[in-house]
Amino acid sequence: MYIGALTLDILLGDVHSLKQKRSLVRPLVAEVQRRFPGVAVAETGHLDLHRRAEIGVAVVSASAANCGEVLDACERLVAFRPEIELLSARQRLFNDDEE
């Protein structure tokens, strides 16, 4: 069993309030969940900043290759959104043999 984790640090466009931030982040999280029903996704950081957001994605799979493919596809989905700028993406892979 493999667990893949993806952390996306994004910069939002012309956002001046947390309410505007939510109106961009919620549909983004929902789109990832809709396109990839087997992943868990949530806003995980920069909760009090207007123009920054951190999105976390996790997937469980029988193979490391499948984890990587799913996380790469999630990253591409977010990166190609015109209203945001992807500042960084970090992938980690864990397996059940690690202590």
Digitized pLDDT (tens) for each residue of the chain, 99 residues in all: 999 999 999 999 888 999 999 999 999 999 999 999 999 999 999 889 989 999 999 999 999 999 999 999 999 999 999 889 999 999 999 988 765
Q: Which of 72, 97, 51 is nearest to 6 (CA)?
A: 72
Angle of the 18-35 helix axis to the 64-79 helix axis, nearest 10: 140
What burial letters (b/e) apply to 16-25, b meaning 16+ CB within 10 Å? eeeeebeebb
- Break the chain into its structural domains and give their ranges: 2-94
CA distance linking residue 67 with residue 69, whole number of Å:
6
Q: What angle do CA 47, 21, 80 make, to 5 degrees?
A: 105
CATH 3.30.70.1120 fits 2-94, yes or no: yes
